[in-house]
Amino acid sequence: MSIEAELRNVIGPMVGDRVYPDTAPADVGLPFVIYQQIGGQPLNFLAGVPDKENGRFQVVVWSDDREQANQLLRDIRASLCVAPLQAVVMTGVNALLEPETGLRGAQQDFSIWFAV
């Protein structure tokens, strides 16, 4: 299973499967989550190809309520940091406000090792 599928499997049940890479559809219900890979720790071997890869993933929860966005991100963090993903938290929570829509966001970065 791909890392993207794993992220959707872990996060999806918390937001009615409204989990999207990069951006969400314009008419999506609330709350929803977007994620994207924003880097990672490369592995360099002298011989062979590694069977693991590291990705730094940014997860953003969007809601119309600050408390709900923050609580959902805490729940997501708790689920990502245990098996099967065993993510490592890379940043504190960043609060977001989308001025045109009034949506409230909560964002955090995670480091995840996964099979390739």
Residue from 3, 2, 57 nearest 33 by CA? 57
- Total domains in the chain come to 1
The pLDDT score that the predictor gives to residue 66 is 97
The pLDDT score that the predictor gives to residue 46 is 64
Tokens in use for 67? 């408390």
> What is the domain extent for residue 101?
3-42+50-115
Tens place of pLDDT for every residue, the chain, 116 residues? Answer: 999 999 999 999 999 999 999 999 999 999 999 999 999 988 776 666 678 899 999 999 999 999 999 999 999 999 999 999 999 999 999 999 999 999 999 999 999 999 98
Measured CA to CA, the distance from residue 63 to residue 34 in angstroms comes to 12
Tokens in use for 38? 């924003």
Residue 35 belongs to domain with CATH number: 3.30.2000.30
State how beta strands 19-21 and 32-37 pair.
parallel
The pLDDT score that the predictor gives to residue 49 is 63
Q: Judge contact between 43 and 56, C-beta under 8 A.
A: no
pTM: 0.93
